[in-house]
Chains A and B, each alone.
Chain A
Amino acid sequence: MTFDIAMTGFVALYIFMLAGFAGWVIIGNVPAILHTPLMSGSNFVHGIVVVGGLFALFNASTPLEQGVGFFAVLLGAGNAAGGYAVTDRMLAMFKTSDAKPAHPHGHGHGRVHHLKKV
Chain B
Amino acid sequence: MFTLIPQIVIGGADLIAAFLFLFGLKRMSSPATAPSGIRVAGVGMVAAVLASFLYLFTVDAAARPHLLVNVGLAVTALLVGGAGAWMVGRKVAMTAMPQMVAIYNGMGGGAAGAIAAVELFGGRTQGATQLVVTLLGGCIGAISLSGSVIAWAKLDGLLKAPFRVTGQQVLNGLVFAATVAVGGVIVASALGVEGLGLTTPTWIWVFFALALVFGVLMTLPIGGADMPVVISIYNAFTGLAVGLEGFVLQNPALMIAGMVVGAAGLLLTVLMAKAMNRSVANVLFTNFGTPAKGKPGAIKGSERPVEASDAAIKMRYATSVIIIPGYGLAAARAQQKLYEFVKLLLAAKVSVKFAIHPVAGRMPGQMDVLLAEAGVPYDMIFQLDDINDDFATTDVALVIGANDVVNPAARTDKSSPIFGMPILNADKAGQVYVIKRGQGKGYSGIVNALFYSPNCNMVYGDAQAVLVQMIEAVRGLGAAAA
Are A and B genuine complex partners? yes
B202 to chain A, nearest CB (A): 12
| Interface window among B165-173, B363-371, B474-482 | B363-371
Contact partner of B28 (CB less than 8 A), chosen from A41, A55, A117, is A41
Q: Which chain A residue lies CB-closest to B244?
A: A16
- Decide if A55 touches B52 in the complex (CB within 8 Å): yes
Tell me whether A78 and B31 are in contact (CB under 8 A).
no
Instruction: Give Cα A36–Cα B368 distance, bound, in whole angstroms.
Output: 8
What residue of chain B has the Cβ atom nearest to residue A83's Cβ? B104
Overall SS of chain A's interface: helix
Inter-chain CA distance A105–B82, complex, in Å, is 35
**Interface readout for B40-75 with A: 1 if CB under 8 Å, 0 if not?**
011001001100110110011011011101110110
| Option from B89, B119, B364 in Cβ contact (under 8 Å) with A81 | B89
Chain A residues within 8 Å of B442, by CB:
none
With contacts A30-B28, A42-B261, A51-B254 taken as known, whether A3 is within 8 angstroms of B3 at the C-beta atoms is yes
Beyond A23-B261, A74-B77, is A60–B255 a contact (Cβ under 8 Å)? Answer: no
Proximity string of chain A (33-71) to chain B, C-beta cutoff 8 Å, 1 when within and 0 when not: 111111111111111111111111111111011101111
**Is B417 engaged at the interface, CB distance under 8 Å to the other chain?**
no
Bound Cα distance A98, B378 (Å): 10
Q: How far is the CB of B81 from chain A (nearest CB, A)?
A: 3
Interface residues of B in 66-111 (CB under 8 A from A): 66-67, 69-71, 73-74, 76-86, 88-90, 92, 94, 97, 100-101, 103-105, 107-108, 110-111
B108 adjacent to A46 (CB under 8 Å): yes
Contact among A23, A36, A56, A60 with B259 in the assembled complex (CB-CB below 8 Å): A23
B:334-390 near A, CB below 8 Å: 346, 349-353, 356, 358, 363-366, 368-369, 372-373, 375, 377-383, 386
- CB atoms of A20 and B85 under 8 A apart: no
The answer to whether A47 touches B22 (Cβ under 8 A) is: no
**Which residues of chain B have C-beta atoms less than 8 A from A35's C-beta?**
268, 363-365, 368
Among the listed B8, B59, B115, B380, which residue makes an inter-chain contact with A72, where contact means beta carbons less than 8 Å apart? Answer: B115
Looking across the interface, which residue of chain A has its beta carbon closest to that of B30? Answer: A106
Cβ of A21 to closest chain B Cβ, rounded Å: 7
In the assembly, what is the distance between CA of A103 and CA of B226, in Å? Answer: 35
Knowing A34-B365, A36-B363, the reply to whether A41 touches B86 (Cβ < 8 A) is no
Q: How far is the CB of B350 from chain A (nearest CB, A)?
A: 7
Smallest CB gap from A71: residue in B: B114
User: Assuming the A-B contacts A46-B238, A85-B89, are A37 and B369 also in contact, with contact meaning beta carbons closer than 8 angstroms in the complex?
Assistant: yes
A5-B11, A42-B25 given; A53·B111 CB < 8 A:
yes
Query: Chain A nearest CB: distance from B34 CB in Å?
Result: 5
Q: A112 CA to B387 CA in the complex, in Å? A: 11
Which of B115, B256, B264 sits near A56, CB closer than 8 Å?
Answer: B115
**Other-chain contact of A19, B39, B53, B255, B381 (Cβ < 8 Å):** B255
Contact indicator B118/A112 (Cβ below 8 Å):
no
CB distance from A77 to the nearest CB of B (A): 3
Q: What CA separation (Å) do A118 and B59 show in the bound complex? A: 71
- Smallest CB–CB gap between B284 and chain A, Å? 18
Q: How many residues of B contact A (CB 8 A)?
A: 140
Question: With A23-B263, A60-B70 known to touch, is A48 a contact of B254 (CB < 8 Å)?
Answer: yes
Whether A73 contacts B267 by the Cβ 8 Å rule is no
The distance in angstroms between the C-alpha atoms of A90 and B369, with both chains bound, is 7
Total A residues in contact with B, Cβ cutoff 8 Å: 106
B235 in the interface, Cβ–Cβ < 8 Å? yes
User: Does B151 have its Cβ within 8 Å of any Cβ on chain A?
Assistant: no
Interface-side segment among B245-253, B285-293, B301-309, B402-410: B245-253
Instruction: Decide: A20 and B364 in contact? CB cutoff 8 A.
Output: no
> Do the beta carbons of B381 and A118 come within 8 Å of each other?
no
- B439 interface residue (CB < 8 Å to A): no
Q: Are B378 and A94 in contact (CB under 8 A)?
A: yes
Contacts of B97 in A (CB 8 A): 36, 40, 86, 90
Q: Which of B85, B112, B122, B373 contacts A82 (CB 8 A)?
A: B85
Residues of A within 8 A of B265 (CB): 39, 42
Given A39-B365, A76-B81, A110-B383, answer yes or no on A27-B268 (Cβ-Cβ < 8 Å): yes
In the assembled complex, the Cα of A52 lies from the Cα of B250 at a distance in Å of 10
Asked whether any CB of chain A lies closer than 8 Å to the CB of B232, the reply is yes
B contact set with A: CB distance below 8 Å: 1, 3-4, 7-8, 11, 14, 17, 21-22, 24-26, 28-35, 37-39, 41-42, 45, 48-49, 52-53, 55-56, 59-60, 62-63, 65-67, 69-71, 73-74, 76-86, 88-90, 92, 94, 97, 100-101, 103-105, 107-108, 110-112, 114-115, 117-119, 121-122, 124, 129, 145, 201, 231-232, 235, 238-239, 242-243, 245-247, 249-268, 319-320, 346, 349-353, 356, 358, 363-366, 368-369, 372-373, 375, 377-383, 386
Supply 15 A–B pairs (Cβ within 8 Å), ascending by A.
Answer: A23-B260, A27-B263, A45-B257, A49-B108, A52-B112, A55-B52, A58-B67, A77-B79, A82-B107, A85-B85, A86-B97, A101-B35, A102-B32, A109-B31, A109-B379
**Residues in A lying within 8 Å of B, measured CB to CB:** 1-3, 5-9, 12, 15-16, 19-24, 26-62, 64-66, 68-99, 101-113, 115-118
